[in-house]
Amino acid sequence: MEFINVIERRYSVRSYRPDPVEPEKIQQVLETARLAPTACNLQEFKIIVMKTANRREELKRIYPRDWFSEAPYVLCVCSIPEKCWVRRDNKNYSDVDAAIVMDHIILAATSLDLGTCWIGAFDAQAAREVLGLDDTMEPVVFTPLGYVQGAVPNRVKKPLSDLVINLD
Ligand SMILES: Cc1cc2nc3c(=O)[nH]c(=O)nc-3n(C[C@H](O)[C@H](O)[C@H](O)COP(=O)(O)O)c2cc1C
């Protein structure tokens, strides 16, 4: 699939089939995350790969929607803020690094016909407990990973004229 079509094809999937995902696809997705750029190439992130089977209740504590645990996998990108690059004015880039890693995961998954959905509205304390994270690790974003159920919803995006500021 052309890269531009991957971008056009991606959407937030909120209904999944329970069908297994081939281990090679998981590996390919994770490999694209490994190649993600990070500030100063510090690569201070972890990707937690959870099988959802028998974890419904734990996953509900993290994010209560039923579809969150429908797919066979849930992934979480965690940053390690104290080890990430900090700009001179003290802006820590750990969230930016983690978001790029997740975007690689999500676009790679789309190219392999898998569905995903960025999840930021999770319970961070529950995530820490369920994933067994120590204080140095920050859960930044989750996604389910699996085969899509149902049709593509209508997506509303602003026109470019609302988004681009040209400084000529
Ligand atoms: C950082 C971030 C956090 C998000 N958190 C959630 C979330 O907690 N739950 C959810 O259902 N969707 C979440 N989304 C998905 C957005 O609602 C979705 O991207 C947006 O509505 C545009 O739809 P699209 O992804 O289909 O283009 C999040 C997206 C981003 C980028």
Residue 28 C-alpha to ligand 1 middle, in angstroms? 23
Residues of the chain scoring pLDDT < 50: none
In a domain, 168, yes or no: no
The boundaries of the domain holding residue 138 are 3-163
Classified as helix, coil or strand, 34 is: helix
In a domain, 11, yes or no: yes
**Cβ of 109 less than 6 Å from ligand 1:** no
In a domain, 60, yes or no: yes
Minimum CA distance residue for ligand 1 atom 21 = 12
In a domain, 134, yes or no: yes
CA 39 from chain center: how many Å?
A: 18
In a domain, 18, yes or no: yes
pLDDT of residue 155: 87
Residue 118 C-alpha to ligand 1 middle, in angstroms? 5
pLDDT of residue 59: 98
User: What digits encode the pLDDT tens for the residues 134-158?
Assistant: 999 999 999 999 999 999 999 899 9
In a domain, 149, yes or no: yes
Which ligand 1 atom is the nearest neighbour of the CA of 121? 8
Residue 119 C-alpha to ligand 1 middle, in angstroms? 6
For residues 25 and 111, give the distance between their C-alpha atoms in angstroms, rounded to a whole number.
10
**Which CATH number covers residue 123?**
3.40.109.10
Which ligand 1 atom is the nearest neighbour of the CA of 99? 1
In a domain, 133, yes or no: yes
pLDDT of residue 1: 79
In a domain, 9, yes or no: yes
Q: How many CB atoms lie within 10 A of CB 14?
A: 17
Among candidate residues 136, 140, 142, 141, the one with its CA nearest the CA of residue 80: 136
How many independent structural domains does the chain possess?
1
Residue 121 C-alpha to ligand 1 middle, in angstroms? 9
